[in-house]
Each structure stands twice: as C-alpha cells, then as structure tokens.
Amino acid sequence: MLKTQELTLNMGPVHPSTHGVYRCVLTLDGEYIVNAVNHIGYLHRGLEKLAEARTYNQFIPYTDRLDYCSGLANELSYVMAVEKLLGITEEIPERAQYIRVICAELQRMASHGIFLGSFALDIAGATGFFYFFRERDKILEMITSIGGNRLTPNYMRIGGVAHDLEEDFLAEVKQLMDEMPGYIEEYNGIITGNEIFQSRTIGVAPVSKEMALDYGFNGPNLRATGVDYDLRRDEPYGIYDRFKFEVPLRENGDTFDRFVLRLKEIEQSVNIIQQALRDIPEGPVMAKVPKVIKPPVGEVYNRIENPKGHLGFHIVSDGSTKPFRTRIYSPTYVMLSAFPEMAKGTHIMDAVLILASIDIVLGEVDR
C-alpha cells in the first residue's frame, strides 16, 4: 500500500502572487488543500494612530494609501465623516456633490479594472490584462490631471473638493463613457466568454449567502452571492439618491461570479457618470469651512460603498484640532478571513485565483 503524507507549504509572502505582503500556510494532500491558515500583519503602517497625530486636513492624503487602488473613494469616506462631525453635511455645494460622484465612480471603474486585469493575468492570460489596463490607464491619467498623482490624488476636501473641474476634463470623461460599451463587449469576448477562463473559474470556491453574511461580507463579494444590498441605493449618501442605476447580482458566489459582477458594476458606473455629467450645475465647489478645523466634542461613524465594499471611519473628537481616536473599517479584512474556508478542498493551482477573486489590497487589510 502506497504511503502518503500531508505537505505544509507557505504561499507568500510574495507580492506578485498574493496582491500584497501576506502569507498563508497551506496543508496539502497531494495537490489538494486540506487546511489553510492566514498570517496577516506584515505592513504595520499604523494609519489609525497616525490620524491621531495629524490635524483633520493633514490626514486626507494618508487615506489614499489604504486601498491604493481607490484613492478618491477613500478620501470621500473620510471627509464625509469629518463633515458629519462638524455638522456641515447639508452645506456642501451642489457642484461639489456631483464632482464627488463622478470621481468616486471613475475610481470604482479604475479599481475594478486592476482587479479584472490582474485576475486575468493570474490565470496566465496576459492578453486580457492589457485590455483591462488600457481603459484603467485613461482614467488614471484623468485623475492625475485633477490631483497630480495617479494613485494618491489628494483631491477631496472637508467641505467640497480642491478645485473645480475644467470643461476639457468633463468632455474627456464623456468621450470615455461613450466608448465604454464597446470596450466592455471586447472584455466579454476575450475573457468572460472564453472556455478556458470559464473552466478555471465556474464552480470554484462558491460562497453561500449564509456563509457570506456570517463572515461579514459586503460590497461586490456579497452581491455575488445574491444578497441585494448596496449602500449607494439602500443607505444613500451625498446625492446618490438622485441617480437611477441597477445593482448587479449573481447567484452562485463562485470565482466566476465575483469576476463577472465587477464587470457589470463598471457598466453601472458608466450609467451614473453619464447622468452626473448631464445634470451637473454651475457654482462653487467648497463650503465655507474654517482653515483650522476643530469639531465639537463627540463621535461619528461614516461609511460608503467603496469599490471593494464598505469603507467606514469612526472618529472621536475631544474638541481639539486632531482626532482623539480614529478607527477604520476596511472591507477586505473580514473577507480575507474567509479565504481558508473557501480554499479547503480546492486544487492548489486554484488558491491564487480564489485569493485574487476576493480583491484584496493589503495596505487596507493591515492598515
């Protein structure tokens, strides 16, 4: 009788294969995973404590470095939390509100673009990688034009945005939105409809509604299981209640559905941006906010629908110019905790795909 034994294998910490500095200890029976243990905690950047040593305005650039694929959206969640603490939520100018929506949805498209492209690359589909990054790069060039940086723009401000958008910028955005349906058709033809891609992803690591809710899933990973919940629609913030859009859903919660759902969300982001471009009014882009911000004593929690899920900021004010306490709820931290259960029983070659399908950025997980 052939004697076999289990093998322990480290997956990571290697940046290209794990989307950040993260290690997982896999126990293998042949080429199949029988156990997995997460080891989270290699960055230790201490952003929450840094926030307590900076003024409210000074911390805005640090939020870009949480999920560094979603800088503008991170900033939006933070400045809205401070505005709620100051009690000026209703004073944000109309034009600034529309600009925030345009920027947040562009950022969602760029974030999903890097997910879709890198996921295709993880399956060894380099061609798909370049197609997705083509439009992502166009969006990042737009973001650079308003913030000066591709990934860390520092454009949102407490009370509005740093400066108005030029007409040339709005025209460029409109042109890209008009072109996106054709690009999405290309994506589907090259990747989504590819038989090899489907065989590698359909039925791999399915997550049920019950499991997703037990682990605290949110955002695209939750909606891929069929749970119909999106903060933009169900707990609208800013002016999202003015826009008509669908919330894409899938039913199986597998690796394929997590991919397809984000592609569908890009379609809806295009829809929202087109409405915002049509309705954006003229006017100021900043409320009258004191240069030195000193919120009253109190605390606030604010969350938005970030590209990867719910990003929340809990801020406690002691009346000074700096937060007394800051805590950040990052969406992918809770979803990464489900990876061991998702990976059990799968083939070792699927481990990286499953991890990629969660769409993690370790800067946010180990913040």
Lookup result for tokens 């982001």: 269
pLDDT digits (tens, 9 = 90+) for 294-306: 999 999 999 999 9
pLDDT digits (tens, 9 = 90+) for 216-264: 999 999 999 999 999 999 999 999 999 999 999 999 999 999 999 999 9
CA angle 355, 361, 365 (to 5 degrees): 95
Q: If pLDDT is split at 50, 70 and 90, which confidence band does 182 have?
A: very high
Coil vs helix vs strand at 273: helix
C-alpha 36 chain-centroid distance? 25
Residue 32 structure tokens: 């199949």
Q: How many CB atoms lie within 10 A of CB 162?
A: 15
- Supply the DSSP symbol for 251: S
Contact yes or no for 311/335 (Cβ under 8 A):
no
Contact yes or no for 92/112 (Cβ under 8 A):
no
The domains found in the chain, sorted by start residue, are 7-365 (1.10.645.10)
- Supply the DSSP symbol for 189: I
Contacts of 274 (CB under 8 A, 6+ apart): 174, 177
> What number is the average pLDDT over the span 76-80?
97
Predicted TM-score of the model (pTM): 0.94
Would you say residue 279 has pLDDT above 90?
yes
